[in-house]
Amino acid sequence: MKKILVPTDFSAPASNALEAAVQLAKKHGASMHLLHAVDVPSTWQDGQFSTAMLATKPTKVQHDLYPEARERVGAARQQLEATTMALQKRGVKSAYTLAPNAAWKEVVDATSKLSADLVVMGTHGAGALKEAFLGSHAQRVIRHCNAPVLTIRHKWAGRAERVALLADPMEKGTEKHLNRLMAMLEGPRTRFHLVRVNTPGRFQDTRTSFAQLEALAKKLTSAVNLHVVDHFSPHEGGIDFAVGESMDMIALITHGRTGANSFLNPSIAETIANQSPLPTLTLRVGA
């Protein structure tokens, strides 16, 4: 992992995500790139204005037409510069982008443009009124981003020693993508727990479930403990297991083309990321 993209709105969850990104950057020797959206008029583009009439005027005149936007841009830039300087002092190479009126699509585009290996985002969780970069934007990033997305809601303790891997063991190629996620998290004290959630709509007997998990486990690069959970819904079952078993993180893959009954349905991954009190690492594949 060489580069981590961190969208931020300077909120508490975004600060938690930033700290998690710092720890991962140090672990992997990666750099960080911050992305912040600032609310400006539609004619404002990186300190300039798009209309031909305004383009002929000096920059100061342009800015004076929108003093509130100028103040927001200036304050955001100062905060981003201060944050990147602080990261440099902590030994993490960093840069930032200040984007006008950016949303989830700009995050996805920036991931590709910067060749980011991971996106780390804060989320306010289900029911929160404030969204900005967070909330529903995080869910859309999960659905469309080609890089793994780590969502952080609460302050992370800085460890991922107990990781719940939620998986459909019968989905083709699952082992390759799980191995990619595990490589990001693996450490001398990390223990992975491979979990299948049985629901009324996709139920099978426990013996069959364990046999499928055992077959998948043989294809993984790290040892895993196996678990079968019965629950009414896949996302609640996964979250209940992770919280009840004192996991540090949930990790899963989501598939852009699977049917509604598949555990790899993107809406399930988005719901888990939005509702889970634990950090959630999601990788979208096969779109």
Delineate the domains of the chain, giving CATH numbers in brackets. Answer: 3-152 (3.40.50.620), 162-285 (3.40.50.620)
- Quick check: 56 pLDDT over 90? no
Q: What's the pLDDT tens digit per position in 196-205? A: 999 988 888 9
Distance CA 203, CA 222 (A): 27
Most confident of the following: 64-73, 94-103, 105-114: 105-114
CB neighbour list of residue 108: distance below 8 Å, 6 or more residues apart? 141, 144, 145
- As beta bridge partners, residue 100 has 38
Distance CA 86, CA 39 (A): 25
Mean per-residue pLDDT, 23-45? 84
Position 59, amino acid: T
pLDDT-derived band at 159, boundaries 50, 70, 90: confident
Pairing of strands 249-255, 162-166: parallel
Phi-psi region of 116 (alpha: psi -120 to 50; beta: other; left: phi over 0): beta
What single DSSP character describes residue 196? E
Contact between 283 and 253 under an 8 Å Cβ cutoff? The reply is yes
Q: What is the pLDDT of residue 264?
A: 63
**Of 264, 279, 268, residue with least CA distance to 125:** 279
The secondary structure of the chain in percent helix, strand, coil, rounded to multiples of 5, reads: 40, 25, 35
Q: What's the pLDDT tens digit per position in 231-240? A: 999 999 999 9
Record the tokens describing residue 185, joined without a space.
Answer: 């998290």
Distance CA 201, CA 184 (A): 32
- Quick check: 55 pLDDT over 80? no
Q: What's the pLDDT tens digit per position in 100-135? A: 777 788 899 999 999 999 999 998 755 444 444 455
Q: What is the pLDDT of residue 50?
A: 45
Mean per-residue pLDDT, 137-162? 85
Summary mean pLDDT of the chain: 84
pLDDT cut 70: percent of the chain above it: 83
> CA angle at residue 122 from 21 to 238, to 5 degrees?
100
Distance CA 100, CA 39 (A): 6
Q: What is the pLDDT of residue 87?
A: 96
Count CA within 13 A, CB hemisphere, residue 202. Answer: 19
Contact between 116 and 147 under an 8 Å Cβ cutoff? The reply is yes
Position 193, amino acid: H
Contact between 169 and 212 under an 8 Å Cβ cutoff? The reply is yes
CB neighbour list of residue 76: distance below 8 Å, 6 or more residues apart? 36, 38, 98
Regarding predicted confidence, which is higher, 286 or 185?
Answer: 185
Distance CA 54, CA 41 (A): 13
pTM summary value = 0.86
**From the DSSP assignment, how many helices (H) and strands (E) are in the chain?**
10, 12
Mean per-residue pLDDT, 44-64? 53
pLDDT-derived band at 2, boundaries 50, 70, 90: very high
Mean per-residue pLDDT, 51-63? 54
